[in-house]
Amino acid sequence: MHIPDGLIPFPQYIIYWLLILIPLYLSLRWARQEMDEMKTPLLAVLAAGIFAIQAVNLPIGMGTSGHMVGAVLAAIILGSPYAGLILLTLVLVVQAFVFYDGGITTLGANIFNMGLVSCWSGYYAYRWLEGKLGTVNASFVGAWLGLVLSALAATVQIYLAGAFPLVEALVVMGTFHAVIGFIGEGFITALVVKFILKSRPDIMSQKQRKPLSRNTLVAVAAVIMVLAIAAPYLASTNPDGLEQAMVIFMGEEKIETTIDTSLLYSAPMPDYSITRLGRSGEVLAIALGTILVLAAGLLFIKLAGKKIVMTPGSSMRNGDTGDNKNISSNSNDDANDNGNGWVSEDRDWGTPYIIETRDLTHVYRSGSTKALSSINFCVKPGERVVLLGANGAGKSTLFKHLNGILKSTSGQVLVKGQPITRSNIKDVRRTVGVVFQNPDDQILSPTVAQDVAFGPMNLGLSPDRVESRVKRALEMVRLTGYEERAPHHLSGGEKKRVAIAGILAMKPEVLVLDEPTNGLDPGAAERLMRLIMEMNQKLGITMIIATHEVDLVPEFAQRVCVMSAGMITGEGTPTEIFGRPDLIAKTHLRLPVVAQLMKKLKEAELDVAMELTVDEARDEIVRVADRRG
């Protein structure tokens, strides 16, 4: 589906270049902010793999063939359409300049179709359908839809250039690519997604719970190279869908006079081959191209300022070298309770979500106003999610449903795919621990150690196991030595940590915290949030926080759900949420202080981008200052 030079004249192809500039800029910003130890090596490896897969043209009948695009697959695995756009751009640039596949002038149009239209439509269709069809089936439909819509976009572009009749071409191109999408795009995407869910479900959770080991990367790279070498032997000789449509509507003679071949023989390896080497030249060209795309991905990662963290094996988490003694994922007690890690690796729940609410509604008996109204909320294992809203928005009420403290008026709460019932409530409360806004509501025992021991004792654990749990939990919250202290003699921040320790001693997989920094001084609040981040990153505990303090959100949240009047009114990354001033105003919130500063600078006619964190703002201001001299 690569549009060659000559079909789109100047200035039309300039328009497509302009259309992709802003999405590419936003994708680069996404990479700088969101790429982590899991995503950085995946980007390079996926780019090489998709290049190799695109070299295989699958025969589909009707005299034509087709190959996978891969944009939606990349977006699903990496968790963002921005990732798919970056990846396809890398692949298409190498294809255009090294192999002259798709042309140089039409590169902007090809990125627009295959990287933007395909990726955005397919990824968001997948997200919308995931809860209805399941992850694998939704990935199939999203990938199929993305391919078909990108083919139709290319058809419209060629029609506007005067080369295709619109209606007939839409029918032909739509038919070709609907079949191609079913055989190749949809099937391969679903197959890869299913394999990842079975072998490494933490990848699909997007929470870098276990960075890719060198052994894993080497094995994947070896498979990709085998595919690259086999591609010339597997590829169909039939023209692809676009080429066959060109033959139908333009005729071979017109094609030869229309397509610009002036750059063809200046490309290092035109038509994926090395001259005079025959089939060996094709094998070598595709293998070299795969290595080149991998190198381009690694170079991009370096330019984005990201480090690739790879562990020697597969047991270390999030780049932890084991030097930090404060929080570690292994202990004798862990081995007895959960195998080698804090969080269970069992993901056979029939759903990608560890917590999910479906049309959850709650009306308190004291009034007719709905405290919650048809809430659909889901959290994947290892996520850091913030429920953001003003007081009275419904955050605390929602939290009390997540481990069965409250019973819904209507709707469901599912934990690991199972509705909360009387028969499983103990397991639910072991899985989901809630820390209330006021720690005095949760701390009841005369000493810290007794309070932390309350939960494990009620689980029926032996005294030795209870003691081990208490010791471990207090180590994790930095309260070793506080065992015999009276809780009412502690500071507000220390009480919060005791309350968290009491929940941690139950070894939850999800920690729900209601206004965790409320009433704390800035130093205590910062220490507490740093502790919460460590528990998420090094133990893999899923974190859900309710807060109205907007300044916490940029540093902590991977996803933000905005609540107002018992409803979720917005959802997205911190950048997406705070980029919507209408949403912020309606929910009686404000921008983070850093974002307010950047806004004031912009109003003062300084060309600064809107940043949310102190480090990002510093870098942006320095960049603008350097540019102004």
Considering the domain architecture, whether residues 338 and 297 belong to the same structural domain is answered as no
Q: What is the pLDDT of residues 295-337, one digit of tens each?
A: 887 777 666 555 444 433 333 323 333 333 344 444 444 444 4
Alpha carbon 474 to its chain's center: 33
| Same-domain pairing of 488 and 503 | yes
Residue range 578-599: average pLDDT? 83
Closest to 313 (Cα-Cα) out of 214, 202, 209, 198: 214
Residue 327 lies in a domain: no
The pair of three-digit structure tokens given for residue 259, joined into one six-digit string: 């397509």
Say yes or no: 540 and 604 in one domain. Answer: no
Residues 606 and 541 in one domain: no
Residue 531 has what pLDDT?
87
Vertex 327: Cα angle to 38 and 313 (nearest 5) = 40
- Whether this prediction's pTM lies above 0.85 is answered by no
What mean pLDDT, rounded, does the chain reach? 80
Specify whether 216 is located in the same domain as 76. yes
β-strand 355-363 against 370-379: which pairing, if any? antiparallel
Among 45-54, 142-151, 363-372, 586-595, the range scoring the smallest mean pLDDT is 363-372
- Helix runs in 261-305, H state only: 278-303
Give pLDDT tens digits for 247-289.
Answer: 888 877 776 666 665 555 567 777 777 877 777 878 888 888 8
Length in residues, the chain: 629
Give the Cβ contact number of residue 239 at 10 Å. 16
Integer Cα distance of 171 and 169 in angstroms? 5
326 assigned to some structural domain: no
What token pair was written down for 164? 């295709």
Do 298 and 426 share a domain, yes or no? no
Is 57 part of any domain?
yes
Q: Are residues 555 and 601 in the same domain?
A: no
pLDDT of 301: 66
Q: What is the DSSP letter of 94?
A: H
Strands of 439-541, DSSP E: 510-514
Q: Do 611 and 561 belong to one domain? A: no
pLDDT one-digit tens code per residue, 208-222: 445 556 666 677 778
Q: Domain of 24?
A: 12-303
Task: Copy the structure tokens of residue 403.
Answer: 């481990």
Contact between 6 and 103 under an 8 Å Cβ cutoff? The reply is yes
The pLDDT assigned to 36 comes to: 58
Q: Are residues 210 and 338 in the same domain?
A: no
Per-residue pLDDT at 367 = 61
- Segment 471-484, tens digit of pLDDT: 988 988 888 988 88
Tell me which of 403 and 303 has the higher pLDDT: 403
The answer to whether residue 393 sits within a structural domain is yes
The number of domains in the chain is: 3
- Comparing CA positions, the residue from 269, 231, 209, 183 lying closest to residue 49 is 231
pLDDT of residue 34: 65
CATH number for 163: 1.10.1760.20
624 and 573 together in one domain: no
Q: Is residue 315 part of a domain?
A: no
pLDDT, position 3: 86
Q: What is the pLDDT of residue 142?
A: 93
Q: What is the pLDDT of residue 67?
A: 82
As a whole number, mean pLDDT of residues 554-579 equals: 88
Considering the domain architecture, whether residues 222 and 357 belong to the same structural domain is answered as: no
Residue that has been written with the tokens 């029609």 in this structure: 159
